[in-house]
Structure 1
Amino acid sequence: MPYAPADRLYYDADSHIMELPDFLKRYADPALRDAIPEVSYSASIVTDEEVAVIMAQGGRHSPEHVAAQVAMGDALIEKSKEIQGLGAFNRDDRTVAMDLLGFAKQLVFATHSVAMPFSPSSKLDPALRYGAARAHNRHMADFCSVDERLMGVAVVPLDDPALAMAELDNALRLGLQAVWVPHRPCGDRSPGHVDLDPFWARLAESGTPFVLHVGGAPLQAAKAWMNNGRPPTKDWLGGGENLRTKDIALAHAAPEAFVSMLVLDGVFERHPGLRGAAVELGAGWVPELLRRLDWVVKHWSRNDANLQGLSRTPSEQLTQQMAFTPFVFEEVGVFIDASNPDLYLFSSDYPHIEGGRNPIARFEAALGDRSAAVRDKFYTENFLRIFPGARVEARRAAS
């Protein structure tokens, strides 16, 4: 019996590939291959020894390891984690994992290979930045090609509008079903800059959502915030390279700023068909974001001509065009009560440990005594609103 109950279709808004070192190089343009670095696990709980063993086996888990993973059955999500997870990097194994997980659809994100394309460094050669994105997108499309339940997520940096458009077109030709953009200023531009309007228009016209995701901007807060005269704080994994206490406390700031710019610069107003999701960035900040943007527009539109043409309030725009995944430890029921049930998405984060051992049970506890209709939106309907391309397959799966 699969992990996900048979009471409804469960759509998973977050899962990952655990890239092997040659993930980008194998799919890179020949002229760029030598300049694109190997994927590094130096800031990860995955050890060099684990990666070395897998590479020595031809980039596969051993048959014994795969068999042991499959034998976990519906406990797979509890025990199968990180690079040792079933289907973490092998597409055929991922199909078996999907059978055991029981999700109708699953967005698939990269883990470590976005460091170069999403780097905020202005010194990085644009040809190399977009070449790395192109290699990622080719590999992601290939990984997801064997199972229609896997929805591959492209990466497209927005620092160069012309190159971003070219790579967006390439991602659409590859059949990728969402586009991950970094949630930071686009070089020296706002994401609502007129130069980027063709990018948002192309997404809207093609019915392809954009997504924001942790890793799309620097994980750690500015060093000065950490300088309190005391010994350094360890991160949640026990080291110092991942999210620390102050990092997670401030993690909402960058995606909140990015989404606010899209509203205040009129991107959602001009492109009502545009859809987007903020994934693995928490959701506790969302109810207040809606309230804040509504009063900002109400009061500042008296003097800001950019706001005077808005036909919908920011809260209406975001409810209609965006959705957000809460962390498994967040009280999503409280967020729904403070805003509305149309805003939130279920996610497992498979095979990352951050997704927890039993995400459905955790979210069920947070939803408490809220209605079946609220649950249907959280697990199914909100996903289909943001990712309408999944709807035909959903009808087939339900029949």
Structure 2
Amino acid sequence: MTELAIPESVKPFAGRIIDADAHEMLPLQVWSEHFGPVTDRLAESFSSHPPNSPGGLNFPDFPGDERAIDAESVWTMKGSFAPGAVDFNRRLDVMDFTGVDRQLVFPGGVAIMGSFLYNFPVEYGFLQDFEGDRKAYGRDLIEASNQWAVRTAAISSRLRPIAALMGDTPDEIVANARKLIDQGIRTVWLMSSVPPGGVSPAHSDLDPLWALLAQANVTATLHIGSEGGFLKTDTWGDAPAFDGFKVGVEFDLSPWRLSIQHLPSQNFLASMITGGVFERHPNLRFGVIELGSFWIGPLAQMLDLWHDNGETFGPNAEVRLRLRPSEYIARNVRVTAFPFEPVDDYIDKFGLEDVYCYASDYPHLEGGKHSMHRFAARLERLGPQVMEKFFVSNGEWLVPE
């Protein structure tokens, strides 16, 4: 592990690169050790999943985080066997090897399943045989994951493990945010399909939350895996044509689901922009992660259209935006791209070169192989200034020092 395993065109940014999406991928066999016995019931359910799948969490013969760190392992190996998937002291070595300075680390199965139990009833299909208070158990799982994040954050300021932020009322969600901040958390994850604290993200009752996050330089994020419940029914996707596609912990890969999975986050963000949240809180940092970047340019274009032509619709409206919606997006919002997306074409068409961010999704299967190389190959034609924004400065808004 002597030479950086990154493309030549990215080497000028080595040691400063921001990775805006990575994950812990602790297999269920070590959950009790890392999260506590509260996970035992969840682990029992996951133990029926096919073993040793790179996209899964069931590894009966998991030997520990011992895979050598080399170009092959960091760019092609996926799942719990990838180096640094479990041991975050080793994750720092992987980051060094790939030129990454700081990295957002999103939670895995424990927090995701906890959020399902906390937010959604049994009809959504997960742990249908669970006996007891689903919401209380979901809250306990989320707390266990959040405390893992607190401990991991203490390893190094280069690691930014993310805590799930829940609350049934504005006061509760603010209190929970303050507790996490006091414990050293610097990034929080909100559920995109659930009104935070039971109100619109644009409601003035949430202004104390946005003010708290902005003042503390804590980033608010939305992330794939929290879309359930946005639609009244999933019958839209219940058709033979959508059978047989892969399903992971975070989402399924049917063509219908892929076409709509960004909509809850788009709705959440549009509410914030048009409701003046970024007008009232100009220093609020906001990221939309692992939902692709194909939708942000069209959203900016659409919101600008209605902003420029909609004054007559609300002559008595209390909120007047000083900037166009696309300007708030460029200033406050960052979005990660998938490595197969033509990000260079998006920039040609929509601008917003300050919005798109590099993300490896390490060590998840969906991150693909050689993500940095694929992004670089697309962006090289736009020149080093745009590349530096994509790999470094745009992500710095989400992961400040």
What do residues 230-259 of structure 1 show as CA deviations (whole Å, max 9, x unaligned)? 454222469997221111111221111110
The residue number in structure 1 matching 2:119 is 120
Contact map agreement 1:24 1:139 (CA 8 A) in 2: no
Distance, in Å, in 1 between the alignment partners of 2:356 and 2:70 is 28
Cα shift at 1:158:
4.5
- TM-score, length of structure 1 as denominator length: 0.84
Distance, in Å, in 2 between the alignment partners of 1:34 and 1:327 is 31
Matched, 1:276 2:276: no
Cα shift at 1:296:
1.8
The residue number in structure 1 matching 2:202 is 192
Aligned residue runs from structure 1 range 308-347, under 5 A: 308-337=319-348, 338-347=350-359
Cα shift at 1:224:
2.0
The residue number in structure 2 matching 1:52 is 60
- TM-score, length of structure 2 as denominator length: 0.83
Q: How high is the sequence identity, in percent, across the aligned residues?
A: 26
Distance, in Å, in 2 between the alignment partners of 1:346 and 1:362 is 11
Contact map agreement 1:178 1:211 (CA 8 A) in 2: yes
What do residues 30-52 of structure 1 show as CA deviations (whole Å, max 9, x unaligned)? 9xx48974483767845889522
After TM superposition, the structure 1 stretch with the greater mean CA deviation from structure 2, 341-350 or 97-106, is 97-106
Q: 1:308 to 1:95 in 2, by over 3 A?
A: closer
Distance, in Å, in 2 between the alignment partners of 1:240 and 1:289 is 24
The residue number in structure 2 matching 1:173 is 182
The residue number in structure 2 matching 1:395 is none
Contact map agreement 2:242 2:256 (CA 8 A) in 1: no
Distance, in Å, in 1 between the alignment partners of 2:76 and 2:291 is 24
Aligned residue runs from structure 1 range 169-318, under 5 A: 169-186=178-195, 188-218=198-228, 222-228=233-239, 230=240, 232-236=242-246, 242-304=252-314, 305-306=316-317, 308-318=319-329
Distance, in Å, in 2 between the alignment partners of 1:241 and 1:340 is 27
Distance, in Å, in 2 between the alignment partners of 1:313 and 1:254 is 22
Equivalenced residues, count: 374
The residue number in structure 1 matching 2:11 is 6
Partner letter of residue 321 of structure 1? N
The residue number in structure 1 matching 2:23 is 16
Distance, in Å, in 1 between the alignment partners of 2:385 and 2:351 is 16
Flag structure 2 segments of 5+ consecutive residues without an equivalent. 123-132
SS of 1:105's partner is: strand
After TM superposition, the structure 1 stretch with the greater mean CA deviation from structure 2, 92-101 or 11-20, is 92-101
Partner letter of residue 88 of structure 1? A
Flag structure 1 segments of 5+ consecutive residues without an equivalent. 391-399
Contact map agreement 2:114 2:140 (CA 8 A) in 1: no
Contact map agreement 2:104 2:160 (CA 8 A) in 1: yes
What do residues 345-388 of structure 1 show as CA deviations (whole Å, max 9, x unaligned)? 00111111211211111112222410211111101111123333
Contact map agreement 1:233 1:244 (CA 8 A) in 2: yes
Partner letter of residue 53 of structure 1? D
Q: 1:6 to 1:105 in 2, by over 3 A?
A: same
Q: 1:379 to 1:300 in 2, by over 3 A?
A: same
Partner letter of residue 18 of structure 2? Y
* Selected match of 1:93 from 90, 101, 104: 90
Matched, 1:355 2:367: yes
What do residues 29-83 of structure 1 show as CA deviations (whole Å, max 9, x unaligned)? x9xx4897448376784588952223xx6xx34xxxx1xx22x523332232111
After TM superposition, the structure 1 stretch with the greater mean CA deviation from structure 2, 242-251 or 282-291, is 242-251
Distance, in Å, in 2 between the alignment partners of 1:34 and 1:120 is 18
SS of 2:188's partner is: strand
What do residues 172-215 of structure 1 show as CA deviations (whole Å, max 9, x unaligned)? 12212211111113175222223222111111111111011111
Distance, in Å, in 1 between the alignment partners of 2:222 and 2:248 is 26
Distance, in Å, in 2 between the alignment partners of 1:240 and 1:321 is 26
The residue number in structure 2 matching 1:396 is none
What do residues 271-308 of structure 1 show as CA deviations (whole Å, max 9, x unaligned)? 11101111101111111100111122233333334464
Matched, 1:156 2:153: no
